[in-house]
Amino acid sequence: MSVVVEHVACPFCGCLCDDLSVEAEGERVVKVRRACSNGQGVFREYDPSPRRPTLEGREVEWDEAVRAAAEILDAADSPLIYGLSSSAVEAQRKAVELADRIGAVIDSTSSVCHGPTGLAMQAVGEATCTLGEVRDRADLLLFWGCNPEASHLRHFRRYSAAAEGAQTPNGRKDRTVVAVDVRPTDTTAKADIFLQVDAGADFEVLTTLRLLVAGRTPAADAVGGVAFSDLTALVERMTSCRYGVAFMGMGLTMTPARQMNVAELFTLVAELNAHTRFSVLPMRGHGNVTGADQVLTWLSGYPFAVSFARGYPQFSPGEFTAVDMLARRAADAAVIIASDPGAHLPARAARYLERIPTILLDHGSSVTAEMARIVFPTAAYGVDAAGTAYRMDGVPIPLTECISTGRPTDEDVLTQLLEAVT
């Protein structure tokens, strides 16, 4: 017999679309309505059958795996806790508590996604808004170094370019969409205006826009591959729109200048508020990577790259971030939660996870699982566990238990580890 659950939030990406209808038969999801291909993948490809933890590749009882994991953590001088972005707030809190207890470094996948955005926010602040405001009010949208048509597949329809809102009843017709990127993408193809910048020239282009907004005229025909006339036309649009919103992505954070690029965009947006209403939102990737930033900031004062080794939180990107900790061999044990650094970090950093005892809590198969000494197969928040996640605009959204499997959650395992470590 099938059961249909309505108003379900998809836990895959930072959009957290919460209008899904999920139909389940026993422990399998058989149909998902309104989800994008990623949402379909999250629910339809989910395999809850692994139930027992593994220790060096062999299945063991749950208690034995918890004891072995606690022994690893008790023996470690410099453990690293990493991941968190596809887990729930409830588990993230426990992960910070564990880091505090064992004197670990704790970092989230933010450090290889919007970590530089966090650094920029600390430096210049953020003029933010909710996606509801974008849908209802924004008549100018700027997508800079991001490609939601490949990464956030319902963003346009549900929240931004094509969304129909209170002051934008005609959806796409009521908005001007500008895309800035180093190459044509699915997103730039749907924009009204595409500014193709030279690779690595974002900072210069953003600085020029700031000068133009300030009423100065740089002596240049083109900046970063963009004609000066195109930049002045964009500034005219930005200063005269009713409500502008900039969305930004890895095109600014993963390139040279990283947080400086982002700070320049955030400053531009702040300065545009002297002319009209303008906001900026980072396109957050994983479903609850925003929650990881939020929880770490509530509990330690810092959004990522936090060490509890001295008994109090210290923040040091470039030192307490996962790539640096692993590449410099500064960690002697790792707890990986709901992420796959084995696949997503540069190989030299990823491979080090095989050299140290790695404990993994995750709901699916992964490259990291093949590297880990201990693997706890946990429930997937939003599929077979309830919890809370933060949308990319900082709005908390409840995640639903759509199927009942009895798999323990990340929170359960972290609680057991907290009880088992000495």
- The CB-of-347 to other proteins minimum distance in angstroms stands at 4
- The CB-of-421 to other proteins minimum distance in angstroms stands at 26
Residue 129 or 179 having the CB closest to other proteins: 179
Interface with other proteins (CB under 8 A), residue from 143, 304, 376, 381: 304
- The CB-of-7 to other proteins minimum distance in angstroms stands at 23
Interface with other proteins (CB under 8 A), residue from 90, 100, 107, 126: 107
Distance (Å, whole) CA 11 – CA 39: 8
Distance (Å, whole) CA 402 – CA 21: 10
Does 301 participate in binding other proteins (rule CB under 8 A)? no
CB contact set of 170 (below 8 Å; sequence gap of 6+): 164
Region from 68-76, 87-95, 215-223, 320-328 binding other proteins, contact rule CB under 8 A: 320-328
Starting at the earlier edge strand, list the strands of the sheet with 374-377.
58-59, 54-55, 374-377, 358-362, 333-337, 79-83, 105-108, 306-307, 314-315
Residue 165 or 303 having the CB closest to other proteins: 303
Does 256 participate in binding other proteins (rule CB under 8 A)? yes
Region from 94-102, 104-112, 267-275, 399-407 binding other proteins, contact rule CB under 8 A: 104-112
At residue 354, the 3 state secondary structure works out as: helix
Residue 53 or 251 having the CB closest to other proteins: 251
Q: At 186, which amino acid appears?
A: D
Short-list 375, 335, 331, CA closest to 355: 331
Listed in sequence order, the DSSP H helices in 172-300 are 186-189, 202-213, 228-240, 250-253, 258-272, 289-300
Region from 94-102, 287-295, 312-320, 411-419 binding other proteins, contact rule CB under 8 A: 312-320
Does 111 participate in binding other proteins (rule CB under 8 A)? yes
At residue 397, the 3 state secondary structure works out as: strand
Q: Which residues is 315 bridged to in the sheet?
A: 306
Would you tell me how many other CB atoms lie within 10 Å of the CB of residue 298? 12
Would you tell me how many other CB atoms lie within 10 Å of the CB of residue 303? 26
- The CB-of-206 to other proteins minimum distance in angstroms stands at 15
Residue 44 or 237 having the CB closest to other proteins: 44
Residue 112 or 336 having the CB closest to other proteins: 112
Distance (Å, whole) CA 210 – CA 127: 16
Question: Would you give the binding string for other proteins spanning residues 139-158, x where CB under 8 A is met?
Answer: --------x--xx-x-----
Residue 273 or 316 having the CB closest to other proteins: 316
At residue 181, the 3 state secondary structure works out as: strand
Region from 16-24, 80-88, 112-120, 155-163 binding other proteins, contact rule CB under 8 A: 112-120
Distances (CA, A) of 407 to 48, 251, 318: 8, 38, 36
Q: C-alpha 169: how far from its chain's center?
A: 30
Residues listed for the chain: 422
Does 365 participate in binding other proteins (rule CB under 8 A)? yes
- The CB-of-74 to other proteins minimum distance in angstroms stands at 27
Would you tell me how many other CB atoms lie within 10 Å of the CB of residue 306? 27
The full DSSP string for 65-79 is HHHHHHHHHHH-SSE
- Show contacts with other proteins in window 164-223 (CB under 8 A): 182-184, 186, 196, 199-200
Residue 157 or 237 having the CB closest to other proteins: 157
Task: Tell me how many helices (H) and strands (E) the chain has.
Answer: 18, 21
Question: Would you give the binding string for other proteins spanning residues 9-38, x where CB under 8 A is met?
Answer: ----------------------------xx
- Show contacts with other proteins in window 325-354 (CB under 8 A): 327, 340, 343-350
Contact residues for other proteins, defined by CB under 8 A: 37-38, 40-42, 45, 107, 111-112, 115-116, 119, 147, 150-151, 153, 182-184, 186, 196, 199-200, 250-251, 253-256, 258-259, 304-305, 317-319, 321-324, 327, 340, 343-350, 364-367
